């Protein structure tokens, strides 16, 4: 698996492959345990934070039954690889005034992996 990730990373650096191919959804599921303190991966089941089922491709601040901050309701983001990566790196900088207390995931690999996992939640 490390050889595949290395090859994908090299090809990504050359612009031939997207970073999603270099990511590992199984590793991302483990990283998601940090998120699962507040979020669920179950459709329609919110926790302290909104459900992240179907988050990839969704408009920010739109999960039914969840009380979002005004900042998140007004963020007008479509959650994709780039916007999720920026948000997960530094939630307070990506959407100033949001109410998520999590400081972020400093590891680019962890972010890519958890985004790959989130992309499987459909």
73-93: pLDDT as tens digits: 999 999 999 999 999 999 999
Q: Tell me if residue 59 falls in helix, strand or coil.
A: strand
Which tokens belong to 8? 């994908």
Residue 24, pLDDT above cutoff 50: yes
What pTM was computed for the model? Answer: 0.82
Residue 93, class by beta-carbon neighbours within 10 Å (0-12 exposed, 13-18 middle, 19+ buried)?
exposed
Instruction: Report pLDDT for 15.
Output: 45
% of the chain beyond a pLDDT of 70 = 83
Which tokens belong to 86? 């920026």
Residue 112 banded pLDDT, cuts 50, 70, 90: very high
Domains of the chain: 25-119 (1.10.760.10)
Beta-bridged to residue 78, according to DSSP, are 59
């Amino acid at each position: 698996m490390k050889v595949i990730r290395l090859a994908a990373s090299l090809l990504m650096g050359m612009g031939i492959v997207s970073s999603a191919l270099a990511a590992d959804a199984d590793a991302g599921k483990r990283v998601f345990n940090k998120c699962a303190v507040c979020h669920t991966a179950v459709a329609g089941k919110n926790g302290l934070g909104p459900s992240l089922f179907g988050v990839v491709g969704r408009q920010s601040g739109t999960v039914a039954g969840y009380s979002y901050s005004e900042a998140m309701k007004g963020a007008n983001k479509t959650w994709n690889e780039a916007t999720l990566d920026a948000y997960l790196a530094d939630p307070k900088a990506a959407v100033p005034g949001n109410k998520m207390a999590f400081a972020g995931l400093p590891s680019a690999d962890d972010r890519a992996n958890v985004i790959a996992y989130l992309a499987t939640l459909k």
